[in-house]
Structures are given as C-alpha cells and as structure tokens.
Amino acid sequence: MNQFDRPETFDPEALRKKVSEIRKTTTEQKDGTRGNAGLNPLAKQIALQFRADTYTPAMITGLIRLLDFCALFAIGYGINAQYVAPTLEQLPVYLLILAGGPALAVAAMQVADAYQVPALRAWLRMTPRVLGAWTAAFGAIALGLFFLKSGHLYSRFWIGAWFLAGGFFLVAERAFIAYSIRHWSRNGTMERRAVIVGGGQPAKDLIREIEHQPDNDIRICGIFDDRDERRSPNVIAGYPKLGTVDELVEFARLARIDMLIISLPLTAEKRILALLRKLWVLPVDIRLAAHANNLRFRPRSYSHVGQVPMLDIFDKPIADWDSVAKRCFDIFFSLVALALLWPVMLAAAVAVKVTSPGPIIFKQHRHGFNNETIEVYKFRSMYTHMSDPTARNAVTKNDPRVTPLGRFLRKSSIDELPQFFNVLKGELSLVGPRPHAVLAQTKDRTYSDVVEGYFARHRVKPGVTGWAQINGWRGEIDNDEKIRFRTAFDLYYIENWSLLLDLKILILTPFRLLNTENAY
C-alpha cells in the first residue's frame, strides 16, 4: 500500500527528480540555519499525513472477541428474561449458563482460527467454522447438564431460541465485519505503518515481497538510508527515500509509526548495530528482514509480515491491550486518589494563594511520550518573580526561590498532586519514568548528553511516580551519576512492566515519601 496515488500516468522519473530537488534544498538549508536532524519538506509532509492513531489487528480482533461474548450473552439473557423469567434462586445458575455458552463459543472460534484477519475478511468461507464453534459450545453445555441430571429443569425453548438467534447474529456480524475491515484497510484505520531502513536492491526486493502478500495490512511510509544516491536511489519501488537514519528518529516522533524494518543482510553486523544504537530509543517494533538470508533459524525464531519472515529485534513496550489495561488502571486509581485527597489539595491551593502572590498552579513544559512536549501541573512552590519554567537551574537545598510553604509542599510531594489531572487527560501515567523539564541539565550538560540512550525512557508515558523514585532516586539531580542511575531504573521498569509492578510501585510510594533527604 503506497502513500502516493499511482494513476496510469505515474512517472517514476518525475518523482525521482522531485525527491532530488527537495533533498538538495534541504542540504542547503542544513548548511545554513537547520540542525542535522531537521526533516526535509517531503518527509515532513508525509509524516503529518500519519499523525492520526490507528488500530492494530490485535486491537480489532480483541474487540471482536469482546463483542461476540457480550452480544451472545445479551441475546440469551433477553430471551431468558422474556420467556423464562427465573426466580432469584434460579438466576445464578442461569447466569452461569449464559456466561459459559459465549465463553466456550469464543474459545472454540479462537481454536478454529476464526479471529485471524484473513478469516474475518472471508466471512462466507468461515461461516461453517463459526457455526461449528457455536454448536460445540451448546454441545458442551448440554453434556454438562446431562451428567448433572438437571437438563429437565431448564427451558428447551429458551436454549433452542438462543442457539438459533445466536447463530444468526454470528453470521450477520461476520458479514458486517468483513465489509468493515475492507473499509478500514482502505481509509487507513486498520493498518500497521512501517518504514524501511536501508535502500538499494535489498529494500526493493523486500517491498515487492510485502506488497505481493494477500491481505496485506502494512502501509510503507517511506525509506531512510544514510548512503548517497549512487548506492541507494532516491526512489525505490515507487517509494521515496525521505532522509538519513538521524532524520528517521525525527520522522518517527512526528508520525505514528508502528514498525521499522531493516533491509540489511545478517552479515552486515556492524552496520546493523550502528543503526540499532540510534533507533532503539523509539517506541516502535524493530524487525530485521530475513527473507533473503541463507542462514535459517528455528521457525519460532521468526515473526511474519504475511509470509515474509522477520527477526524480532525490539518490541514496542506496553502496546495493544496492555496499553488499554494500563490506561484503565490510571483512570481508576486517579479518580480514587482525587476522591480521597481533595481536602488536602483544596487546603494546599488556599495556602499557596494566601502565602504569596501569583497563580496557584505552576505549569512547566516537560518531555512526554515519544519525546513530545507536555505541560505538567504542580502547586506553585516558588516566588512568582523567581520561578524557572525551563528548570535550567535545578532547585537546591535552602534555595531562596522556594517559599516557606513551598519547601513543605516539595518535601511532602503535595506539590505533585495536580498531576492526577494530567493523568486523566492522558498526558501522564500514574506510574512511569518521571517527566523531566525540556531544558533540564546537570551543571552545563543536558541529560541526553550525559546518558547515551537517555530518550529511550520516553518510549512509554511518563509517570507521577516511578521505579526510580521508590528506590531512592528522588529529588535534586546535581551530578552525572544521579541521572545515569535514574535512567537505568527507568529502563528496567520499561523492560519489566506489568500491572502488578505498577500496583507495587503505587502502594510503596507513600512510604518512600517519608524519606525527604533529597527533596528540596
């Protein structure tokens, strides 16, 4: 799926000239006022086309499973309520059957591969499997009632009507889903966006392989390569080379990219490692194309794009349903915290207003997910005329800029409580790497200059609290070692994330706040 319209009059030579002109103009601009990582106009234009979020196949199929369960349960419950009207004593057993039937049906359809995207597209061909799974679920229920010798206690009309109505729903639903998936594929709602890293003939072969896959859900957004036009043409298989690998990092932070596919042979080990040192900081899946390599590994070593084998290098952290679970976790516990702590927040707001002139809330620009800039809320703890929104100068012990009330708010972390509203807005998570100010630094060096791979901590949303904070790395960062240790703990959290880990950090945070040694 190319991002360019390609009518019958498509002229690859014209596109090649256009790309060359743009790259020449960009080079001249870089020699003047622009940085090395600045995007050329074509790359920026394409990146802006892919700003909207998409739904991955894993998300879509998960929602369909949930829809199947809820719809089949609702159909059975509706018929039961109208025809049987069970008593309160009977209701628990009926509800158990009503929940068990759809659960068994969804499990049977999963075993029958009825939730794979190709199967969802071919609804007519998959109808026997879907109805077979629904029948198997009813067979299991009937078998259970038979062995329990309780089949005579339940309405045969209800069970028969539920079976027929549920079967009709599943067939109609699959027809509608097949139409919807075709529509979503055309308008870009359901796709995986990929960038090819590396050009030349290997990239051309890879693109052809991907494009020839049936039911292809990959949209190739462009190609990035450090080599010049002699070794890597500006247009490959109809796709433009948008810039260098350094520019790819900027591109992936502007666009919503799901996957980077490196089209280099396994023998190019040094070059692959050099690329990964730059690219691993991005919140994307990184794959190494293995379709042209003679070296073969065990089948389970590969993932696949259609039938094209890939070696998994990095996976996007907290993706798909994990991100949904974490978002539900954030909203639930943020609302609980606001319900419990609103008197404290109200008292703090009044105290800030009464004790010093200026706004109650201090807003500061900090790094968010994927290096985006967000505005974080805090209760103001400094004198207004001495505040430092850039945080270029870190707060130190007995800092004269901090008000007497501000010292208490900072030591107790009450000044951080307004960040629950950042969580509800979706800018922060309850648990994650703490967001640092955009211009924060140790002495005269920014954090990214001190720690190689510092921006890898932005592969997930920043948090109100985090693994580094409960392990003692809280407060002032006045030397290089402190930011190195913080980053190491943040990266450990990202690689080992789970909801249980989030819950552990959340529970331990109030106890760790009792240690105010480094909180100024």
> 396-442 pLDDT, tens per residue?
677 788 888 888 888 888 999 999 999 999 999 999 999 988 877 77
| Higher-confidence position of 7 and 361 | 361
Q: What is the pLDDT of residue 239?
A: 86
Assign 3 a pLDDT band (cuts: 50, 70, 90).
very low
Long-range contacts of 406-414 (CB under 8 A, 24+ apart): 406/380, 406/381, 406/382, 407/381, 407/520, 409/348, 409/352, 409/379, 409/381, 410/381, 410/519, 410/520, 411/516, 411/519, 411/520, 412/513, 412/516, 413/513, 413/519, 414/344, 414/345, 414/348, 414/379
pLDDT in tens, 95-130: 888 898 899 999 999 999 899 888 888 888 899 999
Q: CB of 275 within 8 A of CB of 245?
A: yes
pLDDT reading at 6 higher than 60: no
Specify the domain boundaries for CATH 3.40.50.720 within the chain: 12-53+191-314
pLDDT top residue among 312 and 150: 312
Write out the E strands in 150-272: 192-197, 218-224, 235-236, 239-243, 259-262
Lowest mean pLDDT, pick from 11-20, 315-324, 334-343, 370-379: 11-20
For every residue of 434-499, DSSP letters joined together read PPPBTT-EETTEEHHHHSTTGGGGGGS--EEE-HHHHTT--S---SHHHHHHHHHHHHHHHHT--H
Pairing status of strand 239-243 against strand 218-224: parallel
Q: Which residue has the higher pLDDT, 493 or 187?
A: 493
Structure confidence by residue, pLDDT tens digits, 137-194: 988 888 877 666 665 566 778 888 999 999 999 999 999 999 998 888 777 778 888 9
Q: Which band of pLDDT confidence, cut at 50, 70 and 90, is reported for residue 450?
A: confident
**What are 49-80's pLDDT values in tens digits?**
888 877 888 888 899 999 999 999 999 989 88
Rounded to the nearest integer, the mean pLDDT of the chain is 82
Residues 6+ away with beta carbon under 8 Å from 217: 57, 117, 185, 190, 191, 192
Residues 6+ positions from 451 with CB-CB distance below 8 Å: 483, 484, 487
Note the pLDDT of residue 426. Answer: 92
Query: What's the CATH number for 12-53+191-314?
Result: 3.40.50.720
Q: Assign 202 a pLDDT band (cuts: 50, 70, 90).
A: confident
Statement: residue 35 has pLDDT above 60: no
User: Is this structure's pTM higher than 0.85?
Assistant: no
Question: pLDDT grade, residue 23 (50/70/90)?
Answer: very low
Segment (H or E) for 172: helix 156-187
Average pLDDT over residues 353-360: 90
What percent of the chain is modeled with pLDDT above 90? 31
Reported confidence tier of residue 338, pLDDT bands at 50, 70, 90:
very high
Angle between helical axes of 91-111 and 123-147 (0-180°, round to 10): 140
Percent above pLDDT 70 for the chain: 85
Sign of torsion, CA 164 166 167 168? Answer: positive
pLDDT of 15 over the 60 cut: no
- Quick one: pLDDT at residue 224? 92
Residue range 273-285, pLDDT digits in tens: 888 888 888 999 9
| pLDDT-based confidence at residue 8 (cuts at 50, 70, 90) | very low
